[in-house]
């Protein structure tokens, strides 16, 4: 039987990135999504919730999402799944990117598993389908639980906005196409946690997000 997902958000790094703990209410087994940094605070949140972390998930390769992933993998002894391999160049260059932004300790990351469109990711008794949604970065992925009507969208779409596309590898038209053709069709009732800022639903964004009106 499918578990009931619970989620907790820990804003990390100077970019206030929504590092998210996702776990099953029944089993207390979960995952850390996008541990960009501030690992001591992430580990404290894991202890506070009393959950067992089984894996680390990455939505894409930007420093505020992936900068702490390699060290957290070492600390927790769990594998990293995601993003799509098209973000390999971003993950390889995290130490240089970190130095440019003045962020200490970012390490390059090679995930234990790259994800592609149509893949499925388990977290305890939770199951997520993978959408490849490029445009913000070439390898951005969305994790969606169709059972629980819940998604983790990284920097693809935000409440009232969409991901920036001025960074290397960004493509605005491709991003809007991915949102309209893959993400919104998941259904208006899907609640999502974005990489930054408040949560929303796909229906609210379909109807009010200025970037998604025709
Ligand atoms: Zn990003
Ligand atoms: Zn971000």
Domain total in the chain: 1
Rounded to the nearest angstrom, the distance between the alpha carbon of 85 and the centre of ligand 1 is 15
Ligand with smallest separation from the Cα of 139: 1
Range of the domain at 206: 5-212
User: pTM for the complete prediction?
Assistant: 0.97
Backbone phi and psi for residue 119, each to the nearest 5 degrees, phi listed first: -65, 165
Rounded to the nearest angstrom, the distance between the alpha carbon of 41 and the centre of ligand 1 is 21
Structure confidence by residue, pLDDT tens digits, 71-108? 999 999 999 999 999 999 999 999 999 999 988 889 99
Structure confidence by residue, pLDDT tens digits, 117-176? 999 999 999 999 999 999 999 999 999 999 999 999 999 999 999 999 999 899 999 999
Rounded to the nearest angstrom, the distance between the alpha carbon of 60 and the centre of ligand 1 is 7
Extended strands (E) in 84-162: 120-123, 126-132, 141-145, 150-154, 157-158, 161-162
Residue-level pLDDT at 105: 85
Rounded to the nearest angstrom, the distance between the alpha carbon of 86 and the centre of ligand 1 is 14
Rounded to the nearest angstrom, the distance between the alpha carbon of 136 and the centre of ligand 1 is 7
If you average pLDDT over residues 187-201, what whole number do you get? 98
Rounded to whole angstroms, the maximal C-alpha distance in the chain is: 47
CATH code, domain with 127: 3.60.15.10
């Amino acid at each position: 039987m499918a578990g009931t997902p619970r989620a907790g958000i820990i804003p990390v790094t100077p970019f206030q990135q929504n590092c998210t703990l996702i776990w099953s209410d029944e089993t207390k087994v979960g995952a850390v999504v996008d541990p960009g940094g501030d690992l001591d605070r992430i580990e404290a949140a894991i202890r506070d919730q009393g959950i067992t972390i089984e894996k680390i998930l990455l939505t894409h390769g930007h420093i505020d999402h992936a900068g702490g992933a390699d060290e957290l993998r070492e600390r927790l002894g769990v594998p990293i799944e995601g993003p799509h391999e098209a973000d390999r160049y971003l993950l390889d260059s995290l130490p240089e990117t970190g130095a440019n932004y003045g962020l200490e300790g970012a390490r390059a990351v090679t995930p234990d598993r790259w994800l592609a469109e149509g893949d499925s990711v388990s977290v305890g008794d939770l199951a997520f389908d993978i959408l490849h949604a490029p445009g913000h970065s070439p390898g951005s992925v969305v994790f969606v639980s169709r059972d629980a009507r819940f998604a983790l969208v990284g920097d693809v779409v935000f409440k009232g906005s969409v991901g920036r596309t001025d960074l290397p590898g960004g493509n605005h038209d491709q991003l809007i196409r991915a949102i309209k053709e893959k993400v919104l069709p998941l259904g208006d009732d899907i609640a999502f946690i974005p990489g930054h800022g408040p949560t929303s639903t796909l229906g609210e964004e379909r109807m009010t997000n200025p970037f998604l009106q025709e």
